[in-house]
Amino acid sequence: MAANPPKIKTAINSNERLKNLKTTFETKYGESPLFYACAPGRVNLIGEHIDYCGYSVLPMAIEQNILAAVSVNSSGMIQLANTNPQYQDFKQSCSEEIIIDSDNPKWYYYFLCGVKGIQERFGITRLAGMSCVIDGTIPPSSGLSSSSALVCCSGLLTMEANQKSLSKVSLAEICAKCERYIGTEGGGMDQSISFLAEKGTAKLIEFQPLRATDVKLPEGPVFVISNCCKEMNKAASSHYNIRVVECRIATKILAQARGLDSSGLLKLAQVQTELKASLEEMLTLVDEVLHPEPYSREEVCKTLCITLEQLSTDLLSSNTQDVTHFKLHQRAKHVYGEAARVMTFKSVCDSGPVESMQLLGELMNQSHASCRDLYECSCPELDQLVDICLKSGAVGSRLTGAGWGGCAVSMVPSEKVESFLQAVREAYFLPDPRRAAMEKQSLFVSKPGGGAAVFLEE
Ligand code: GLA
Establish if 283 belongs to a structural domain.
no
> Which ligand 1 atom minimizes the distance to the CA of 186?
9
Report the half-sphere exposure of 267 (CA within 13 A, side-chain side). 17
Q: Which of ligand 1's atoms lies nearest the C-alpha of 377?
A: 6
Instruction: Tell me the HSE value of 327 on the side-chain side, using a 13 A CA sphere.
Output: 14
Short-list 94, 80, 89, CA closest to 124: 94
Q: Is 118 in the pocket of ligand 1 (CB under 6 A)?
A: no
Contact yes or no for 194/452 (Cβ under 8 A): yes
Quick one: pLDDT at residue 50?
Answer: 98
Confidence of residue 132 (pLDDT cuts 50, 70, 90): very high
DSSP E strands, 183-263: 202-206, 211-215, 221-227
42 lines ligand 1 (CB under 6 A): no
Determine the residue type at 22: K
- Ligand 1 pocket check: which of 43, 49, 147, 152 to mutate, most ligand atoms within 8 Å of Cβ? 49
Q: Which residues are catalytic?
A: 190
The Cα 281–Cα 284 span in angstroms is: 5
Coil vs helix vs strand at 189: helix
Distances (CA, A) of 392 to 246, 364, 386, 396, 422: 36, 16, 10, 11, 9
Question: Strand pairing partners for 78?
Answer: 92, 130
Q: What is the largest CA-CA distance in the chain?
A: 67
Strand partners, 57: 205
**Tens-place pLDDT, residues 62-112:** 999 999 999 999 999 999 999 999 999 999 999 999 999 888 889 999 999
Is the shortest distance between the CB of 173 and ligand 1 below 6 Å? no
Task: Specify whether the CB–CB gap between 233 and 139 falls below 8 A.
Answer: no
Residue 242 lies in a domain: no
**Average pLDDT of the segment spanning 354-365:** 92
For the Cβ of 52 lying below 6 angstroms from any atom of ligand 1, the answer is yes
Nearest CA to ligand 1 atom 10: 49
- The answer to the question of residue 255 being in a domain is no
Q: What is the pLDDT of residues 382-436, one digit of tens each?
A: 999 999 999 999 999 999 999 999 999 999 999 999 999 999 999 999 999 999 9
Q: Which atom of ligand 1 is nearest to the CA of 44?
A: 12
419 within a domain of the structure (yes/no): no
- Mean pLDDT over residues 172-199, rounded? 96
Q: Is residue 141 a part of any domain in this protein?
A: yes
Q: How far apart are CA 326 and CA 93, in angstroms?
A: 44
The amino acid at residue 150 is L
Helix (H) or strand (E) run with residue 135 in it:
strand 129-136
Q: Which pLDDT score is estimated for 233?
A: 78
Q: Which domain holds residue 151?
A: 7-219+448-457
Output the residue whose Cα is nearest ligand 1's atom 11. Answer: 402
Whether 179 lines ligand 1, by a CB cut-off of 6 Å, is no
Q: Which residues contact 150 (CB under 8 A, 6 or more apart)?
A: 39, 66, 107, 110, 111, 114, 134, 136
Output the CA 94–ligand 1 centroid distance in Å. Answer: 31
323, 316 Cβ separation under 8 angstroms: yes
Burial (CB count <10 Å: 0-12, 13-18, 19+), residue 319: buried
Using the mean position of ligand 1's atoms as its centre, give its distance from the Cα of residue 401 in Å.
Answer: 6
Q: What is the pLDDT of residues 12-30, one digit of tens each?
A: 999 999 999 999 999 999 9
Please give the DSSP secondary-structure letter assigned to residue 449. B
**In angstroms, rounded to a whole number, what is the distance separating the alpha carbons of residues 384 and 447?**
24
CATH of the domain at 167: 3.30.230.10
Q: What does the mean pLDDT of the chain come to?
A: 96
What pTM did the predictor assign? Answer: 0.97
Contacts of 219 (CB under 8 A, 6+ apart): none
| Residue 68 counted as domain residue | yes
Q: Does any ligand 1 atom lie closer than 6 A to the CB of residue 51? A: yes
- Do the Cβ atoms of 42 and 199 come closer than 8 Å? no
Asked if residue 186 has its Cβ within 6 Å of ligand 1, the reply is yes
In a domain, 238, yes or no: no
- Please say if the pLDDT value at position 256 is more than 90: yes
**Is 172 among the domain residues?**
yes
**Of 260, 289, 256, residue with least CA distance to 276:** 260
CA-CA distance, 78 to 93, in Å (whole number)? 6
Distance (Å) from CA 403 to ligand 1 centroid: 9
Dihedral in degrees, nearest 10, Cα atoms 121, 127, 129, 134: 30
Number of structural domains in the chain: 1
SS3 374: coil
The model's pLDDT over 274-321, given as tens digits with 9 standing for 90+, comes to 999 999 999 999 999 999 999 999 999 999 999 999 999 999 999 999
Instruction: Give strand pairing partners of 398.
Output: 409
